[in-house]
């Protein structure tokens, strides 16, 4: 079965602190990609970061880093130095190279950043 699990429906973090959003996945495919998207209250989906299943180094994009542990099938998002504008819904997704790259999404984690 192909599945993405985000176990934290909601999280709070203090401004300027780091926060980790959890994501685990299940697949028997060897080639896949892991993605994180941000959805603010305005509704758009904003791409944050990507990790390929064969990438040995963890991906980083500015304040975002992806903690990829292949053996544990986890792809946690770390946001450093949280900002008020980081308050949003965050979705973990998995893409399958042998299926055109369709994404399956987790249920999301709502992050609230406190001043």
- For position 27 contacting another protein by CB under 8 A, the verdict is no
The DSSP letter of residue 58 is P
Q: Residue from 68, 77, 86, 95 that binds another protein (CB under 8 A)?
A: 95
Residue 28 as a binder of another protein (CB under 8 A): the answer is no
25-49 as b/e: b if 16+ CB within 10 A: bebeeeebbbbbbbeeeeeeeeebb
Q: Are strands 109-114 and 10-14 parallel, antiparallel or unpaired?
A: parallel
38 binds another protein (CB under 8 A): no
Residues in the chain: 115
- Compare residues 87 and 91 and give the one whose CB is closer to another protein: 91
Can residue 43 be called a binding residue for another protein (CB under 8 A)?
yes
Least Å distance, CB 44 to another protein, is: 5
């Amino acid at each position: 079965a192909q599945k993405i699990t985000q176990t934290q429906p909601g999280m709070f973090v203090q401004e300027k602190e780091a926060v980790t959003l959890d994501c685990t996945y299940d697949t028997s495919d060897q080639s896949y990609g892991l993605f994180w998207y941000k959805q603010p209250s305005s509704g758009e989906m904003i791409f944050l970061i990507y990790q390929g299943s064969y990438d040995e180094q963890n991906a980083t994009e500015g304040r975002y880093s992806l903690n990829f542990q292949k053996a544990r099938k986890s792809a946690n998002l770390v946001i450093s130095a949280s900002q008020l504008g980081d308050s949003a819904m965050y979705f973990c997704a998995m893409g399958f190279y042998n299926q055109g790259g369709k994404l399956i999404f987790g249920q999301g984690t709502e992050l609230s950043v406190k001043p």
